[in-house]
Structure 1
Amino acid sequence: MNWIYLFVAGLFEVVWATTMKLSHGFSKWDWALATVAGMIASFFFLAKATKSLPLSLAYPIWTGIGAVGSIIVGVILFGDKIPAITWVFIVLLLVSIIGIKMTA
């Protein structure tokens, strides 16, 4: 169950990063409130996950999910242009996250 909490925490990290962009520097209050709610949810589920998962595993996996998820959202929703070589490193990041999980 703790791995599920960690995954959900990572998804909420993507949510708050996305809504932060949509808030336009916190000038749009509805998106700003969604950002804060996403942050709270992300930290809540991270805290639940780290009750039994080591911090040395949970934190890098949490940030990795957030990083890769934010890149994907940026490309799909915001039209961010990512150079081809960057995708190689994104794949390496995914492989690293999976490797951390598998060797834990």
Structure 2
Amino acid sequence: MAWVLLGIAGLLEVGWAIGLKYTEGFTRLWPSVFTAGGIAGSILLLSLAAKSLPIGTAYGVWVGIGAVGAGLLGIAVLGEPATAARIFFLCLMVVAIVGLKFTGGAGH
């Protein structure tokens, strides 16, 4: 169950990271409310997952999911550059996330 919570926490991190772009410095009400809710939910689920997973693993996977997801959505939705190097390094992050999952302690 901890891994499921961690996965959802990571997806919420993707959502709030992309949401930051739409808050315009937290000057727009509804994007700011949804982004703040995503931040709170993501951290809450990370803390619950960390009850049974090593914090280094949980935090690394959480950050990795957020970074890869935000990178991919940045390319797909926000028109950010999709260079070969950028795609390569996003793929390396996926390898690191999978590695942490399978070597990271409790509940794998």
TM-score band by shorter chain is over 0.9
Identity %: 39
Greater Cα offset, 62-71 or 17-26: 17-26
Does residue 69 in structure 1 map to residue 69 in structure 2? yes
Amino acid of the structure 1 residue aligned with 2:42: S
- Aligned pair count reads 104
**Structure-1 separation of matches of 2:89 and 2:19:** 25
Match of 2:51 in 1: 51
CA shift for structure 1 position 51: 0.7
User: What secondary structure, in the 3-state scheme, does the structure 2 residue paired with 1:78 have?
Assistant: coil
Q: What's 2:89 paired with?
A: 89
TM-score with structure 1 setting the length: 0.96
| C-alpha RMSD over aligned residues | 0.8
**Runs of at least 5 residues in structure 2 that lack an aligned partner in the other structure:** none
Give matches, 1:1-104, under 5 Å.
1-104=1-104
Partners of 2:58 and 2:26 lie apart in 1 by 29
Aligned-partner Cα distance in 1 for 2:11–2:64: 10
State the AA in 2 paired with 1:47. Answer: S
Q: Deviations over 1:56-83 (max 9, x none)?
A: 1000000000000001111111111132
